[in-house]
Structure 1
Amino acid sequence: MLDLDLLSHFPRVRLMQGPTPIQRLSRLTQVLGGPEKGVSIWVKRDDLMELGDGGNKLRKLEFLLGQAMAEGCDSVIVTGGVQSNFARLAAAACARTGLACELVLAQMVPRDSEIYQGNGNVLLDRLFGANLHVLTEGDDAGSFAHRRASEIAASGGKAFFATLGGSTPVGALGYVDCAFEIAAQSIEMGIAFQQIVIPNGSGGMHAGLVAGTAVAGKDPSRIRAYTVLSPADVCVAATVDKVNAVFELLGKEDRVQAEDLTISGTQLGRGYGMPTSDMVEAVRIVGRSEGLLLDPVYGGKAFAGLLSDIENEVIAPGSNVLFVMTGGSPGLYAYADALSN
């Protein structure tokens, strides 16, 4: 039986208003060939959140900012890429809660156009009042962040360091909670989801979903991820460690091994943040059939993988598939050159 109080022991700052909805992509089913294709695609709308233009990172930030405040911090330092969704939502969450926000943005993607460096998430970072440190290629973001934390301490403040993507065990608790939401919504809707499809970047979402699904008494092997940051073998190893760290944080004896996770490297392309033709096509298909926006770095690539696996029957006909829409649509504006060709 699910322990609904399991997460109540952890400090938390509420940044969301209740569970995000699950919707069926009926029009997309028709575009893909109708019901004879045998797969029903549903989406968990984690892009529909009021704060900071929405996105899944708010789930992590609820627990991370809770931890920061419990530790008496007055500022938050975040590292990420130039177009980091986590950085954008951290800036918005800090604005909401009154914490100072320092964003250390590294050149993780070899795209130096003016639109990439100044539009999209970066524009919103500035509008939310964050102090931006945009590094040059080769600079070490972690070292810079720790130096900045020392400077803040020297001036009498206390900074909380939120690592890449917020993918600590504490941050992953946000997706333990999401797994509980999905389990409850599945029962309410009377629908069993044979596959839950996600992108995997820094691994925190995947780790939280696996741990939460297991704690909820469901089969975590149904979670299918597409890596968008690192090669599949590296991603699997890192995610295994994160899942087990979440179990430990929750006081659970469960553990996973590499063979328990399904992570595909088919959509990585030339690397993190680098567009692929399949990603562009997936973004267009979902936009033109459902009027919904997938981001170009995470959701677009994962949805491309989903479409490919449906076409090749890697995902069995007759399945109900739940795709977690993680948000990140501001990033589309930084990729206008790739998406408008």
Structure 2
Amino acid sequence: MPRIDTLLSAFPRASLLGQPTPLERLGRLSEELDIDLWIKRDDLTGLSFGGNKTRQLEYYIGAARAAAADTILITGAVQSNFARTAAAAAAKYGMHAVLQREERVAGMDPLYYSSGNIFLSDILGADVMRYPDGEDEVGADAALEACAEDLRAKGRSSYIIPLGLGHPPLGALGYVQGGAELAAQIGGFDAAVVPSGSGATHGGFLTGVRLAGITAPVFGICVRRDAALQKARLEQVADALATLMGIPRPFGCDDIFTWDGALAPGYGRAGPATRTALQRMARTEGILLDPVYSAKTFAGLLGLLKEGAITKGQKILLLHTGGLPALFAYQNDLGFGGAGAL
């Protein structure tokens, strides 16, 4: 098997991530939970408040530049971290950004539609289009295609960052590299806990650590679909990623672990387990998590520990994928008050 850097060198890559992100031991939580807990700080990737999407965008922007595109089109939820970071990456490389906002989360208050990633994307100068269905990946991608065709008719050169499974998972290459980066920092661990949504982060990370020689379980915490549906999605992502890289898939079906115990009440909503996890991390380690991805991931770690899938004394890696601007859009939904009057 070729080295990871050799495999990845076949793909154009834009420089968005200046250096390896920090790996920190969480001392107080390690003591409280009786595990050796480490956190990979991909909330600190830089570029408009950071987050894991920066890694994926290095390869999408690299491909867009290779195609001489002047416009990036992307689809996502109203509070999409991916869309916000894409707008920043486009600005960095002198491109224009068109963000399609899908209605994935019902019943949110007006703040959800004006704060957080919405506010930052407006500052970054992105254009916006809307798509009414949050569960139609094929339709959302088709709407981007129609917009790109219209832009081409006007003399623009567009590059689409797709959502659906029918496209090569180019962004997952960012977490193949990220998994290798982590392996060089940590050497090994007993289990890792990562968010699992589109599958690009989970599938790329699992591929990266396996190629780096780490065989420990990687638990994907479901943020959008139940465990069975998410595992089936990861099978497709993993197969497509191996095909893209021109290698045999470095893990089997039994190596894909998904857990949905913190998913309720659904995508983009924070249930009691998520709220508790977000507050515990903040008030124990001073690290902020977001309600859509990273707080559910930490809630998943706590749930896996309670169920015995993670056991006392183990060295555990938690992947912090960022998304912090969304905290401001969710402040009414989360409902945190002060810690108490003096």
- Scaled by the length of structure 1, what TM-score is found? 0.92
Q: Paired residues, what number? A: 331
Cα distance in 1 between the residues matched to 2:192 and 2:95: 35
Query: Shift in Å at residue 177 of structure 1?
Result: 0.3
The one of 307, 323, 330 aligned to 1:328: 323
In the alignment, what sits opposite 1:107? 103
In the alignment, what sits opposite 1:24? 25
Cα distance in 2 between the residues matched to 1:297 and 1:284: 14
| 1:247 aligned onto 2:248 | no
In the alignment, what sits opposite 1:174? 174
Query: Shift in Å at residue 202 of structure 1?
Result: 0.5
Amino acid at match of 1:10: F
In the alignment, what sits opposite 1:311? 306
Query: Shift in Å at residue 226 of structure 1?
Result: 0.8
User: Contact 1:237–1:258 at 8 Å: present in 2 too?
Assistant: no
In the alignment, what sits opposite 1:208? 204
Cα distance in 2 between the residues matched to 1:184 and 1:72: 34
In structure 2, the CA distance between the partners of 1:56 and 1:240, relative to structure 1 (3 Å rule), is same
Query: Shift in Å at residue 321 of structure 1?
Result: 0.5
User: Contact 1:80–1:86 at 8 Å: present in 2 too?
Assistant: yes
User: Contact 1:94–1:101 at 8 Å: present in 2 too?
Assistant: yes
SS in structure 1 at match of 2:101: strand
Cα distance in 1 between the residues matched to 2:154 and 2:4: 43
User: Contact 2:79–2:326 at 8 Å: present in 1 too?
Assistant: yes
Query: Shift in Å at residue 86 of structure 1?
Result: 0.3
Cα distance in 2 between the residues matched to 1:227 and 1:111: 21
Q: Which runs of 5+ in 1 are unaligned?
A: none
Amino acid at match of 1:181: E
The one of 284, 289, 314 aligned to 1:289: 284
Q: Which runs of 5+ in 2 are unaligned?
A: 337-342
SS in structure 1 at match of 2:330: helix
| 1:151 aligned onto 2:150 | yes
In the alignment, what sits opposite 2:159? 160
Q: Name which of structure 1's ranges 123-132 and 304-313 shifts more when overlaid on structure 2.
A: 304-313
Cα distance in 2 between the residues matched to 1:133 and 1:113: 20
User: Contact 1:39–1:310 at 8 Å: present in 2 too?
Assistant: no
Cα distance in 1 between the residues matched to 2:4 and 2:53: 24
SS in structure 2 at match of 1:78: strand
The one of 258, 263, 266 aligned to 1:263: 258
In the alignment, what sits opposite 1:339? 334
Query: Shift in Å at residue 320 of structure 1?
Result: 0.6
Amino acid at match of 1:6: L
Amino acid at match of 1:92: A
Give the alignment's Cα RMSD to 1 decimal.
1.9
Cα distance in 1 between the residues matched to 2:28 and 2:115: 31
Q: Name which of structure 1's ranges 135-144 and 324-333 shifts more when overlaid on structure 2.
A: 135-144
| 1:116 aligned onto 2:112 | yes
Cα distance in 1 between the residues matched to 2:159 and 2:129: 16
Query: Shift in Å at residue 314 of structure 1?
Result: 2.1
Indicate the percent of aligned positions where both proteins have the same amino acid.
37
Cα distance in 2 between the residues matched to 1:58 and 1:165: 19
In the alignment, what sits opposite 1:185? 185
Amino acid at match of 1:283: L
User: Contact 2:261–2:303 at 8 Å: present in 1 too?
Assistant: no
| 1:55 aligned onto 2:51 | yes
In the alignment, what sits opposite 1:77? 73
Query: Shift in Å at residue 218 of structure 1?
Result: 2.0
In the alignment, what sits opposite 1:97? 93
In structure 2, the CA distance between the partners of 1:170 and 1:282, relative to structure 1 (3 Å rule), is same
Task: Render the CA deviation track for 1:223-242: whole Å, top value 9, x for unaligned.
Answer: 11111111211111111111
Task: Render the CA deviation track for 1:234-258: whole Å, top value 9, x for unaligned.
Answer: 1111111111211122221235443
User: Contact 1:243–1:255 at 8 Å: present in 2 too?
Assistant: no
